[in-house]
Chains A and B, each alone.
Chain A
Amino acid sequence: MTKNANNSSSIRIGRVGIAELTALITIYCSTDVFLSYPSRVAVEGATAAWMIPLIAGVITFAVFLLLYLAMRKTPTQNLIELVMNSLSPFIGIPVAIAFSVFFFLQTAIVMREFTETVVTTVLPRTPSEIIAASFLLVVVYYAYKGLEGLTRVAVLIAYILGVGLVILLVLPLTWFHLPYLMPLAGRGWNVTLMHSLLNTSAFANVLMLAILYPAVRNQQHFVRAGLMSILFTALTMSAVLFVVLGVFTDAVSGQVSFPLYQLARLIYVGRFVQRLEAVFVFLWTAGAVLKMGFGLWLSGYLYAAAFRMPVYRPILFPLALLIYVFVFLPQNIMAVEALESRIIEPFAWIVELLAPLVLVIVSVGINHLRGANRQAQS
């Protein structure tokens, strides 16, 4: 199929602004801080855990720059279209399906985690099935409304999340002890660096930007969206870890399921400002809805793109039903966390960073060779 024909049959996702896209990707990647992410990283990095997201961010940005340099010659094609056109659909279709399945599974895992968080923190007597179903209804609505809606809500919520997170991190500072962050190197620079490398799994920015490449107005915006989203994600994660470690110490942080929630519980500023954890339910529910909505949208969009369907919306409903099934496959929250720490974190970077980079470089290389051959023939 020719390039033009492919473009005409592809799904129109619209154009989004740089601030909106940055907000959406940042929220998608940094919402993990509300869950067990700080606890996991505290175990890995000990007192140097707060550095891990920063180093991981630098590595991710380096990969992103390489990807951008490779992709900038094909501004109208996203990762999937590039692979389809250059490496044939025989490779393109399985790649698109693999990415779709990746986002699908990630959405299912996140939904289970957030469902358990809600049950643990605010609605202890409500069955998980009902919480998950209510989440799912809203998430399907979000995915159904498409990328434009998701990015716009993200930019609105970003203000609230930003202010809320700052309050959440500032108010418990009365318990903060700087010595808890010593020794600075944690378990040693080598260990910190190694875990930083693996921790790039938390940064799905590169893969998402490679998929949403044509939705950005120009290449300068693309670089800025990449830089800003990686920077904000890394800073958010690092700031949360910094405060969590300084308040609880690394040993305790590693034992707590939801460290940020525990941090919210600690808040006590006078008689009237205390026990505000219920208020912060707003933050993680808002973040969770956006993250899962975007995850479901990506999954549906990639699946439709794999088979060159002109629409993706009808796919969302069966996908949502499948997510509901997958949400309850793990026996309990401990099984989900084990999945996160043993499979997702050590290997997700292969899908999120390595695969897009390799695919883009190979595709662009083949395109270049073909172009050179054509020139030689003519």
Chain B
Amino acid sequence: MAISSFFKRILSVDDRILDQEFQLTPMTDEDSSHKAAQTKAGNDPQRASGRPLRLKRMIIRFGDRYMAGDVTLHTVHGHKEVIPISYAELQQRAVKRTSKMNQGSSTNDPPTFIQYALTDNQHILEKVFRLPINADIVIRKFRLGGEHVADAMAVFVDGIADKIIINNHILEPLMMLSDLEHDIASLSLEDRIQNVLLPGNQVMKFSTYKDAIENILAGSTVLFIDGVNVVISVETKGWEHRPVGITQTEAAVRGPHDAFTENFRSNTGLVRSKLRSPNLITEMRQLGTLASTDIAIMYMDGVVNPNIVNEVKRRIESIKVDYVPESGLVEQFIEDAPMGVIPKLLSTERPDRVAYGLTEGQVAIFVGHSPYVLLVPVLFWSLLQTAEDAYLHWPFGTFIRFIRIIALFIALLLPALYIAVTNFHPEMIPTEIMLSIASSRERVPFPVVIEVLIMEFSIELIREAGIRIPSVIGPTIGIVGALILGQAAVAAGIISPLLIIIVAVTALGSFTMPNYNLSFTVRVLRFGFIASAAVFGFYGIILLFMVLMMHAVTLKSLGVPILSPIAPRRKSSSDTIWRAPAYKMEVRPNPYFPLRERRQSPMSRSWSPLAKDTDQMAQGRGDDDDKKRK
């Protein structure tokens, strides 16, 4: 079915579909004025929906203590807002409610708003959290002291909330210190608790069950008070997690060694501590209908192209899924051309890399407690780079980049080239080496292709086993794999010694890939090249290579062609294969169309009399000299 629809699409594709694809373009004045108009309309729902009638909001107050002259008439609690709606909207709501029921929505769904009566709220919470079966949720009931005695309850999740904070900074002030005199006659009960009694650093009020439940599940302690239809949430997150450790997959000799960990706020904090700017914005979203996961979208306002931020938000908000445990899944939901094998997003565990990416005009996506942060958009060349390239002196940075590019081609093509040369083009090799290969293959009963496949498969086995095996016996697997298996295979006459060298060099090449996803790309594509070489020799390798090139040049990462600035050519500082000196990296990567193009002054080494970075700089120095003379 899927195959037939695929062919149907090939034969009936409409070019206009391609025009709808998101393509990153530079911001123009028209864009920004249009966006401003949209934002303005967005803030005003009536204007946004274009409703001509402004429905007046009628508020019926009941529950606030109100006075008629000097006499207190009666005391009721809370207030309720009644918003008149049109009949069409009412009908729409009814349809929505019915369809929700038809979809089998849970009967445990709480009402929208917090109730006034504490017992009602308790019943609702018991129903929502399936108490008392569910042992994780703790409801601690107590009585508030002071002038107005009221029943209250603190709700939190055992294991993810900090008990010391709850005992010392919530229950103790509310139960024991609430008798103290304060000059707070004008404050309502909930404001008094929030402003005077709770010393927590983050105390917020919420009026809906959705917010209350999300806060409870996120580790906060939520206070329900009898007769008050708002809850007070105190930040008490305190679950056990791994402290900030060293990088596991992106190790660098020069540069910081800290890595993201399994704590959302620590991760965002790690970046913010490195990038101390008021322009650094973190927007929060929740994803998941069954269990929500926090998503943070971080960007540098004034640098990043707003089209990228809007597109990231649009893609994340359009994800309809019940649970997202890891950034790897979000990556699959938001990437362009998801059927391809080339990564279109950069997942990194290095805070310094994220910080630098943000200053270049990229957007970072933090997903829940995932220790890998996504950077978008990304260029293919970034996948071949490490943070270290930039920290090292530029000739060394460039040198290791060249090594990596060569390693990429070795990892991708070496076994295929070996097959092509030995099977189809033996005349290429000098006679002595040809004879040596022939003599080493004399005892081997298999064709070269089978021989290569056996060895490649063995290497993949060793690699997989090396990851899955318990770390205590992990190092031995290398010895077992490399020595015993290789030696034994040669001794048994199954494999030629030359092939051991070929496969080992190939494996080393693929290990140099700095990006974990890219190393998978190389591993998978290598088998494709082996097959094409086995069938057509060099000709087959070239055909597949050309297909791969076409695939790569038309790939986009959030609207940015991933092979830019080389194909298509765009003006940019030299940071693809060649790493220019830091003082010459004057502009941000042009493919991201950042709002601020220049990142350093043309006179970045103005102290040096020999510095001749650019014409502008020479001009700048001339100006300075003129000023001094004056």
A residues contacting B by CB (< 8 A) are 11-12, 16-17, 19-20, 118, 122-123, 126, 131, 134-135, 138, 141-142, 144-146, 148-149, 151-153, 155-157, 271-272, 274-276, 278-279, 281-282, 285-286, 289, 310-314, 317
Contacts and interface: CB of A to CB of B under 8 A. Distances in A.
A196 to B, nearest CB: 33
28 contacts: A19-B569, A20-B569, A118-B539, A122-B537, A122-B539, A126-B536, A135-B543, A138-B543, A141-B550, A148-B568, A149-B550, A152-B553, A152-B561, A153-B553, A155-B569, A156-B553, A156-B566, A157-B549, A271-B430, A272-B430, A276-B428, A282-B542, A286-B542, A310-B15, A311-B14, A311-B15, A313-B13, A313-B15
A310 B14 contact: yes
Contacts of A281: 538-539, 542
- DSSP class of A's interface residues: helix, strand, loop or mixed? helix
Given A276-B428, A278-B428, A317-B11, A134 B569 contact: no
A12 B21 CA distance: 13
B546 A289 contact: yes
Given A123-B539, A274-B430, 20 more contacts: A12-B19, A19-B569, A20-B568, A122-B539, A123-B424, A134-B540, A138-B546, A138-B547, A149-B554, A152-B553, A152-B561, A152-B563, A156-B563, A156-B566, A157-B549, A278-B425, A281-B538, A310-B15, A310-B16, A314-B11
A146 B428 CA distance: 36
B427 interface: yes
B49 interface: no
Interface in B531-563: 536-540, 542-543, 546-547, 549-550, 553-554, 561, 563
- Residue from A16, A123, A135, A152 whose CB has the most chain B CB atoms within 10 Å: A152
Nearest to A148: B554
Interface in B9-34: 10-16, 18-19
B549 A123 contact: no
B interface SS class: helix
B469 interface: no
B567 interface: yes
Contacts of B553: 149, 152-153, 156
Contacts of A16: 568
A279 B540 CA distance: 13
B544 to A, nearest CB: 9
- Residue among B10, B15, B539 with the most chain A CB within 10 A? B539
Contacts of A271: 430
Contacts of A141: 547, 550
A145 B554 contact: yes
A285 B543 contact: yes
Contacts of B18: 146
B542 A285 contact: yes
B536 A314 contact: no
Interface string B454-472: 0000000000000000000
Contacts of B569: 17, 19-20, 155
Contact of B543 (A11, A122, A134): A134
Interface in B70-116: none
B430 A155 contact: no
A272 B430 CA distance: 6
A130 to B, nearest CB: 9
B61 to A, nearest CB: 59
B16 A153 contact: no
Nearest to B12: A314
Nearest to B570: A17
Interface string B410-429: 00000000000000110110
